[in-house]
Amino acid sequence: MSTQTKSFKTEVSQLLDLVIHSLYSNKDIFLRELISNASDAIDRARFEAVANTDIQEPEGGWKVKLIADKEAKTLQIVDNGIGMNAEELETNIGTIANSGTKAFLKQLSEADAKDRPELIGQFGVGFYASFMVAGKVELITRRAGEDKAWKWVSEGDGTYEVSEAERENFGTTITLHLHENEDATDYTQEYKLREIVKQYSDYIAFPVVMDVTRKEKDEEASEEGEDPVYKDITSEETLNSMQAIWTRNKSDIEDEEYNAFYKGAFHDYEDPSKVIHWAAEGTTEFKGLLFFPKKAPFDLFYNEDAKGLHLYVKRVFIMNDCKELLPSYLRFVKGVVDSSDLSLNVSREILQNNPLVRRIGKNVTSKVLSTLKTMQDKEPEAYAEFWTEFGRVIKEGMHTDHANKDKISHLLQFESSKTEAGKTISLKEYVNRMQPDQKEIYFLSGESRQVVENSPLLEAFESRNLEVLFLTDTIDEWVIPALDTYDEKPLKAINRGGVDLDSEDEKKEKEEAKKQAEETYKPVLDALKESLKDQVKDVRLSDRLTDSSSVLVADDSGIDANMERMMKAMGQVIPETKRTLELNPGHAVMEKLKAMVEADASDERIAEYGELLFDQALLTEGTPLPNPAAFAKRVSKLMASV
């Protein structure tokens, strides 16, 4: 057959035109595309070799070879894969069958001209990417199992030529005649090729090799006492590590291998605390290899976008930090997802709205959540360590991932009035050890364990052996409303509204006692209401105190001390809200006050005692006193008077 000149299909011409005439943000990807094609071709040859004994593994093994010629300014990509016959050449290179490429073209034609370079940079354009770096591309290919070879040549100008050719073995050789303008990257440089292969094709399962020449001392030619004589030694070096560890069988992989891969790929000095390796099958097929780091990075809360998942398609690197694969609250997870369904030509834009990617993301999220649950159940100590590092981010999910809210609620851990400092329990554990007639889950929020632990509000709960969760994390204030109930038990803040702890009989009894106490102390309450009217909304008797004399409580809907502190920290304007001062009718100070009011209602000490009770309530909940000097003065005066 003589040489035939043919025209590209319109869409190919369109594509080539764009590839050649637009500016590219990243030309290096041409090599990724060609190596990926070569690797696919080898995959297919290996597959056919299983059934067809005429096809055998080539001497030297399956591989992709790069041959750079500095003088000629050419770069060759040679593979010993399946190759193409004339027909295949015609349909594969010359038309666009790939739907990804078609979609790409459509998007390009719709995009603003100024956006095009970026778009091209983000897309893989397959074989045609060659024309980003080469003015002329030659391809010689011979299909495995056939004798004839074919040559395809094009200068990307709308036409290509096909002719019969010679090739010793099956496979494909692509020769790129590289552009020569001054600012063009030199793709014949060894370091450049190494760099690109390392970045984009490191995990390709076949060796990507290159002949490398090094100077070595020539022992024979070198004379003793003279300067050594050097000779050039050329050897074939493999540029990629080929460690597509996630494609291997889990049972064949040692922990050390996982750890080494993790540390290398994700730049950590420590081993991961958990490795998850699985193959998803069914509606979407992909391999996932995920890691939980041991320590939280310093910017976990500043850099909410940083996601550690790398996306591969059939072992070809597509992108770092693929946002669509992990929700923000799981941003600490590192790893790799390798899809066999996605097309190599995916862009960030396509990823955003791709149902396949969404499905993968869902699957990854469930896998992480179920692994955490198993860890919590089976390895409580490891989970506790994990929780200390990453619990806060997980809590964000209560607000952001409605679909998984229930699953996340089981993962939550809190300290409580019955745990040692630093130890946490799950809500399930809490519920399991609730008192027989306890109906609510009690919690108290505050700045630190020390503050909540010493809160007078706990007294009534402790005397009844009721456990109270300590919410000392800033984000808890947002988590709890998202939760509302757990296991059908409402969550109840013990520093808000009334807390109902008594049985019916007890209530009746208390009601009586309270009525009496209210009568007894009415003059005291009235006097303090008047003197503290600028600070508090109301002054009343408390039924939640046993030892302490006073406490401040918020309305069910009001802002409590902890929230106020957080809002201030965030620089928010806080509406002025007054809380209610509750006094302990069983405390001796009440008797004293009563005596004072009865003796002389205008006694100055009454108001001073009121101030002191208010300040004490502030102090015990961890709120700084508005006027500490005045407080100190009052205390000293009181000390001197007894």
Cα–chain center distance at 20: 37
Q: Which is nearer to ligand ADP, 33 or 324 (CB)?
A: 33
User: What does the alpha-carbon distance between residue 420 and residue 130 come to, in Å, rounded to a whole number?
Assistant: 65
Supply 272's token pair: 């991961």
Among 28, 55, 75, 81, interactor with ligand ADP by CB under 6 A = 81
Stretch that binds ligand ADP, among 19-27, 33-41, 404-412, 453-461 (CB under 6 A): 33-41
Stretch that binds ligand ADP, among 8-16, 76-84, 518-526, 576-584 (CB under 6 A): 76-84
Stretch that binds ligand ADP, among 32-40, 308-316, 444-452, 626-634 (CB under 6 A): 32-40
Strands across the sheet containing 74-79 = 4-7, 159-165, 149-154, 134-142, 171-178, 74-79, 64-69, 208-217, 230-238
Does residue 37 interact with ligand ADP by CB under 6 A? yes
Does residue 98 interact with ligand ADP by CB under 6 A? yes
Among 8, 32, 62, 79, interactor with ligand ADP by CB under 6 A = 79
Does residue 84 interact with ligand ADP by CB under 6 A? yes
Q: Which is nearer to ligand ADP, 123 or 262 (CB)?
A: 123
Does residue 127 interact with ligand ADP by CB under 6 A? yes
Among 326, 344, 425, 532, interactor with ligand ADP by CB under 6 A = 344
List the one residue out of 274, 486, 277 whose CA is nearest residue 375.
274
Per the CB < 8 A criterion, the answer to whether 317 and 200 are in contact is yes
Does residue 126 interact with ligand ADP by CB under 6 A? yes
Does residue 244 interact with ligand ADP by CB under 6 A? no
Give every CB contact of residue 539 below 8 A, 6+ residues apart in sequence.
525, 528, 529, 532, 580, 581, 582, 583
List the one residue out of 640, 639, 637, 618 whose CA is nearest residue 628.
618
User: What does the alpha-carbon distance between residue 55 and residue 575 come to, in Å, rounded to a whole number?
Assistant: 80
Burial tier of 354 (Cβ tally within 10 Å: 0-12, 13-18, 19+)? middle
Does residue 156 interact with ligand ADP by CB under 6 A? no
Give backbone dihedrals phi and psi of 550, rounded to 5 degrees, phi first: -150, 160
Q: Which is nearer to ligand ADP, 206 or 470 (CB)?
A: 206
Q: Which is nearer to ligand ADP, 41 or 290 (CB)?
A: 41
Neighbours of 637 (CB within 10 A): 11
List the one residue out of 263, 265, 291, 267 whose CA is nearest residue 277.
291
Q: Which is nearer to ligand ADP, 92 or 328 (CB)?
A: 92
Least Å distance between CB 205 and ligand ADP?
Answer: 15
Does residue 172 interact with ligand ADP by CB under 6 A? yes
CA atoms within 13 A on the CB side of 53: 0
Does residue 446 interact with ligand ADP by CB under 6 A? no
Least Å distance between CB 488 and ligand ADP?
Answer: 53
For Cα atoms 163, 166, 170, give the angle at the middle one, nearest 5 degrees.
110
Does residue 107 interact with ligand ADP by CB under 6 A? no
Least Å distance between CB 41 and ligand ADP?
Answer: 3
Does residue 391 interact with ligand ADP by CB under 6 A? no
The identity of residue 137, as a single letter, is V
Q: Which is nearer to ligand ADP, 174 or 552 (CB)?
A: 174
List the one residue out of 238, 341, 328, 253 whose CA is nearest residue 289.
253
Least Å distance between CB 33 and ligand ADP?
Answer: 6
Stretch that binds ligand ADP, among 35-43, 230-238, 317-325, 373-381 (CB under 6 A): 35-43
**Which residues are near ligand ADP by CB under 6 A?**
33, 37-38, 41, 79, 81-84, 92-93, 98, 126-127, 172, 344-345
